[in-house]
Amino acid sequence: MQKTLIILKPDCVQRRLAGEIIARFEAKGLRIAALKLIQVDRALGEKHYAEHAGKPFFEGLIDFITGGPVVVGVLEGNEAISVVRSMLGATNGVAAAPGTIRGDFSISKQNNLVHGSDSPESATREIALWFKPGEVVDYTVAGAQWVF
Protein backbone atom coordinates (compact mmCIF):
# COMPACT_ATOMS: atom_id res chain seq x y z
CA MET A 1 0.00 0.00 0.00
CA GLN A 2 1.21 3.48 -0.85
CA LYS A 3 0.76 6.63 1.27
CA THR A 4 0.18 10.16 -0.04
CA LEU A 5 -0.32 13.56 1.57
CA ILE A 6 -3.46 15.58 0.93
CA ILE A 7 -4.16 19.16 1.99
CA LEU A 8 -7.73 20.42 1.89
CA LYS A 9 -6.73 24.03 1.29
CA PRO A 10 -8.27 27.10 2.98
CA ASP A 11 -10.83 27.56 0.17
CA CYS A 12 -12.02 23.97 0.69
CA VAL A 13 -12.49 24.45 4.44
CA GLN A 14 -14.13 27.89 4.00
CA ARG A 15 -16.57 26.49 1.42
CA ARG A 16 -17.50 23.55 3.71
CA LEU A 17 -16.39 21.02 1.09
CA ALA A 18 -13.95 19.07 3.28
CA GLY A 19 -16.40 16.28 4.12
CA GLU A 20 -17.61 15.88 0.55
CA ILE A 21 -14.06 15.63 -0.78
CA ILE A 22 -12.87 13.22 1.90
CA ALA A 23 -15.95 11.12 1.10
CA ARG A 24 -14.84 10.89 -2.55
CA PHE A 25 -11.42 9.59 -1.53
CA GLU A 26 -12.96 7.04 0.85
CA ALA A 27 -15.51 5.91 -1.71
CA LYS A 28 -12.69 5.29 -4.18
CA GLY A 29 -11.11 2.88 -1.69
CA LEU A 30 -8.45 5.03 -0.06
CA ARG A 31 -8.30 4.94 3.73
CA ILE A 32 -7.36 7.67 6.19
CA ALA A 33 -4.02 7.07 7.96
CA ALA A 34 -3.84 10.57 9.50
CA LEU A 35 -6.05 13.68 9.57
CA LYS A 36 -5.96 17.03 11.37
CA LEU A 37 -7.09 20.64 11.01
CA ILE A 38 -4.34 23.23 11.47
CA GLN A 39 -3.58 26.88 10.85
CA VAL A 40 -0.45 26.90 8.64
CA ASP A 41 2.25 29.49 9.36
CA ARG A 42 4.38 31.03 6.62
CA ALA A 43 7.44 28.93 7.48
CA LEU A 44 5.53 25.67 6.99
CA GLY A 45 3.81 26.94 3.84
CA GLU A 46 7.15 28.00 2.36
CA LYS A 47 8.72 24.63 3.18
CA HIS A 48 5.82 22.74 1.66
CA TYR A 49 5.88 24.77 -1.57
CA ALA A 50 9.70 25.23 -1.65
CA GLU A 51 9.84 24.02 -5.28
CA HIS A 52 7.91 27.17 -6.28
CA ALA A 53 10.10 29.69 -4.36
CA GLY A 54 10.95 32.64 -6.58
CA LYS A 55 8.07 32.11 -9.02
CA PRO A 56 5.75 35.09 -9.61
CA PHE A 57 2.83 33.40 -7.85
CA PHE A 58 4.84 32.24 -4.79
CA GLU A 59 4.02 35.05 -2.33
CA GLY A 60 0.35 34.92 -3.28
CA LEU A 61 0.39 31.14 -2.87
CA ILE A 62 1.81 31.47 0.66
CA ASP A 63 -0.80 34.17 1.46
CA PHE A 64 -3.46 31.73 0.24
CA ILE A 65 -2.28 28.60 2.07
CA THR A 66 -1.89 30.56 5.33
CA GLY A 67 -5.15 32.47 4.83
CA GLY A 68 -7.29 30.10 6.91
CA PRO A 69 -7.11 26.64 8.43
CA VAL A 70 -6.44 23.59 6.31
CA VAL A 71 -7.27 19.92 6.82
CA VAL A 72 -4.15 17.87 6.15
CA GLY A 73 -4.15 14.12 5.91
CA VAL A 74 -2.42 10.98 4.81
CA LEU A 75 -4.34 8.62 2.54
CA GLU A 76 -3.29 5.05 1.94
CA GLY A 77 -4.13 2.61 -0.81
CA ASN A 78 -3.12 0.90 -4.02
CA GLU A 79 -1.15 3.47 -6.10
CA ALA A 80 -2.52 6.18 -3.80
CA ILE A 81 -0.28 8.96 -5.19
CA SER A 82 -1.38 8.70 -8.81
CA VAL A 83 -4.97 7.85 -7.89
CA VAL A 84 -5.30 11.04 -5.83
CA ARG A 85 -3.62 13.16 -8.52
CA SER A 86 -5.97 11.87 -11.19
CA MET A 87 -8.98 12.42 -8.93
CA LEU A 88 -7.83 16.05 -8.39
CA GLY A 89 -7.58 16.84 -12.11
CA ALA A 90 -5.55 19.59 -13.74
CA THR A 91 -4.06 22.34 -11.54
CA ASN A 92 -6.24 25.07 -13.06
CA GLY A 93 -9.87 24.50 -12.18
CA VAL A 94 -10.87 26.20 -15.44
CA ALA A 95 -9.15 23.44 -17.42
CA ALA A 96 -9.78 20.49 -15.06
CA ALA A 97 -12.06 17.85 -16.53
CA PRO A 98 -15.60 17.52 -15.17
CA GLY A 99 -15.73 14.51 -12.87
CA THR A 100 -12.46 15.47 -11.19
CA ILE A 101 -12.52 17.34 -7.88
CA ARG A 102 -11.10 20.54 -9.33
CA GLY A 103 -13.21 20.12 -12.46
CA ASP A 104 -16.37 19.83 -10.41
CA PHE A 105 -15.69 22.41 -7.68
CA SER A 106 -13.04 24.94 -8.78
CA ILE A 107 -12.88 27.66 -11.43
CA SER A 108 -9.53 29.09 -10.27
CA LYS A 109 -5.85 28.43 -10.92
CA GLN A 110 -4.86 29.11 -7.31
CA ASN A 111 -7.97 28.26 -5.33
CA ASN A 112 -8.09 24.65 -6.45
CA LEU A 113 -9.23 23.09 -3.19
CA VAL A 114 -6.86 20.18 -2.65
CA HIS A 115 -3.17 19.34 -2.79
CA GLY A 116 -1.89 15.83 -3.48
CA SER A 117 1.74 14.66 -3.43
CA ASP A 118 3.11 14.33 -6.96
CA SER A 119 5.68 11.50 -6.52
CA PRO A 120 6.87 8.93 -3.96
CA GLU A 121 9.75 11.27 -3.04
CA SER A 122 7.34 14.18 -2.51
CA ALA A 123 4.99 12.01 -0.46
CA THR A 124 7.79 10.90 1.88
CA ARG A 125 9.08 14.46 2.29
CA GLU A 126 5.62 15.98 2.78
CA ILE A 127 4.32 13.37 5.25
CA ALA A 128 7.45 13.94 7.40
CA LEU A 129 6.96 17.72 7.13
CA TRP A 130 3.32 17.73 8.24
CA PHE A 131 3.10 14.79 10.67
CA LYS A 132 5.09 13.39 13.58
CA PRO A 133 5.71 9.64 13.18
CA GLY A 134 3.12 8.67 15.83
CA GLU A 135 0.38 10.68 14.09
CA VAL A 136 0.34 8.39 11.05
CA VAL A 137 -1.46 5.23 12.13
CA ASP A 138 -0.99 1.75 10.73
CA TYR A 139 -4.04 -0.41 11.34
CA THR A 140 -6.07 -3.23 9.87
CA VAL A 141 -9.38 -2.45 8.18
CA ALA A 142 -12.05 -5.12 8.11
CA GLY A 143 -13.31 -5.75 4.59
CA ALA A 144 -10.15 -4.52 2.86
CA GLN A 145 -10.16 -7.61 0.64
CA TRP A 146 -13.31 -6.26 -1.05
CA VAL A 147 -11.56 -2.99 -1.90
CA PHE A 148 -8.31 -4.25 -3.46
Catalytic residue IDs: 115
Provide the minimum distance between the beta carbon of 140 and ligand RTP in the complex, in angstroms, as a whole number. Answer: 30
The answer to whether 15 touches 120, Cβ cutoff 8 Å, is no
Is 15 annotated as contributing to ligand binding?
Answer: no
CA separation for the pair 126, 80 (Å, rounded)? 14
Stretch 62-121 residues interacting with ligand RTP (CB under 6 A) = 91, 109-110, 112, 115-116, 118
**Eight-state DSSP code of residue 138:** -
Beta-bridge mates of residue 6: 73, 116
Provide the minimum distance between the beta carbon of 109 and ligand RTP in the complex, in angstroms, as a whole number. Answer: 5
Comparing CB distances to ligand RTP, the nearer of 32 and 58 is: 58
Comparing CB distances to ligand RTP, the nearer of 10 and 77 is: 10
Burial class (CB in 10 A: 0-12, 13-18, 19+), 139: exposed
The answer to whether 88 touches 10, Cβ cutoff 8 Å, is no
Binding site for ligand RTP (CB under 6 A): 52, 57, 61, 91, 109-110, 112, 115-116, 118
List binding-site positions. Answer: 9, 57, 85, 91, 102, 112
